[in-house]
């Protein structure tokens, strides 16, 4: 499973990271370990393909277009993928658009993403039009969708053609975790939760969400100064170290069970990478169910909850 996913990722990304300088923008400086997994996988894949570390890394909040362009010197600027493309995360999405506008003459790749609109398929027509306009002005742009639903929305709602590519979290190697119990339930309680975001009564005592874990919160707080570090090498080392620690904690949480029930996409991917049996409930945007349906060959021990089929 891991080899198959990595082969697809290497094939899709290979033409965009072939020995030249590159940047990775949109480091996830927040507590969600799923986005840290995306970062860790992207780092492994891109460094292997390019034969070198990135020349520039930044969060969106601290992005400096002039420094980025100077650092890549005609190379490629990769924007980290994930599920924040669209109006559900409007503030973050607008920061991404500002950075894209500033880089419109550079070679740009939006790594595998999912569309998250506040009211799918279109929560903010004005933002959709602005997004389409900004991306049309990017002269050398490649957009990668990580599942079929988002590929269709990018085309039909945003007017953007994209290629399918698995999530870059498949590029990481998870730690070994010995299961301690039969089943764990990772259930989200945020704007992407279906219904009221609460698990069924029988599972309530076993269920948790990422944000319940104090270690993840403390690791994230410790990393708040990393984007401000002026040294590129030290900043990159801090970004990598913090992201790896978040992923290790997340793997420890889901890895406790032989079976993992979850509606979080990276709960699915991390558990699958660790060889667990995974039962999937969809999230409110539909990205989780779509991902499982798009990449069944990469998720052999993963199945959709019958209520979501």
Residue 307 has pLDDT above 90, yes or no: no
Q: Encoding tokens for residue 24?
A: 């990775």
**Contact, 252 vs 292, CB < 8 A?**
no
Return the ∠ at Cα 262 (arms to 90 and 28), rounded to 5°.
40
C-alpha 8: how far from its chain's center?
17
pLDDT in tens, 106-128: 999 999 999 998 765 556 889 99
- Write down the CATH number for the domain with range 2-170: 3.40.50
Chain-wide mean pLDDT for the chain? 93
Give all strands of the β-sheet with 277-280 in edge-to-edge order: 207-208, 181-186, 257-262, 277-280, 302-304
Residue 197 has pLDDT above 80, yes or no: no
User: What's residue 123's pLDDT?
Assistant: 66
pLDDT in tens, 64-83: 999 999 999 999 999 999 99
Q: List Cα–Cα distances, 190 to 54, 82, 197, 263, 303, in angstroms.
A: 33, 16, 7, 11, 23
User: What's residue 119's pLDDT?
Assistant: 63
User: What's residue 201's pLDDT?
Assistant: 45
d(CA 155, CA 114): 12
Instruction: In the chain, list all ranges with CATH 3.40.50.
Output: 2-170
């Amino acid at each position: 499973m891991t080899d198959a996913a990595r082969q697809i990722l290497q094939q899709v990304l290979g033409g965009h990271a072939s020995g030249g300088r590159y940047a990775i923008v949109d480091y996830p400086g927040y507590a969600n370990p799923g986005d840290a997994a995306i970062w860790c996988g992207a780092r492994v894949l891109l460094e292997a393909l390019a034969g070198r570390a990135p020349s520039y890394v930044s969060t969106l909040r601290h992005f400096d277009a002039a420094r980025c362009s100077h650092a890549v010197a005609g190379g490629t600027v990769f924007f980290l993928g994930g599920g924040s493309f669209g109006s559900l995360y409007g503030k973050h999405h607008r920061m991404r658009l500002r950075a894209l506008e500033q880089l419109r003459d550079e070679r740009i790749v939006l790594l595998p993403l999912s569309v998250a609109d506040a009211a799918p398929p279109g929560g903010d027509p004005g933002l959709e039009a602005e997004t389409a306009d900004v991306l049309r002005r990017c002269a050398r742009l490649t957009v990668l969708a990580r599942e079929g639903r988002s590929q269709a929305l990018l085309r039909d709602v945003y007017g953007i053609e994209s290629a399918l590519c698995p999530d870059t979290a498949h590029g990481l190697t998870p730690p070994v975790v010995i299961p301690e119990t039969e089943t764990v339930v990772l259930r989200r309680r945020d704007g992407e939760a279906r219904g009221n975001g609460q698990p069924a009564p029988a599972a309530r005592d076993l269920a948790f969400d990422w944000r319940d874990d104090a270690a993840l919160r403390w690791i994230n707080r410790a990393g708040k100064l990393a984007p401000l570090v002026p040294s590129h090498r030290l900043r990159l080392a801090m970004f990598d170290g913090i992201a790896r620690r978040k992923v290790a904690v997340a793997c420890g949480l889901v890895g406790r069970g032989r079976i993992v029930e979850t509606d979080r996409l990276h709960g699915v991917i991390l558990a699958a990478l660790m060889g667990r049996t995974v039962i999937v409930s969809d999230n409110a945007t539909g990205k989780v169910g779509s991902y499982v349906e798009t990449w069944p060959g990469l998720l052999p021990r993963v199945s959709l909850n019958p209520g979501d089929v």
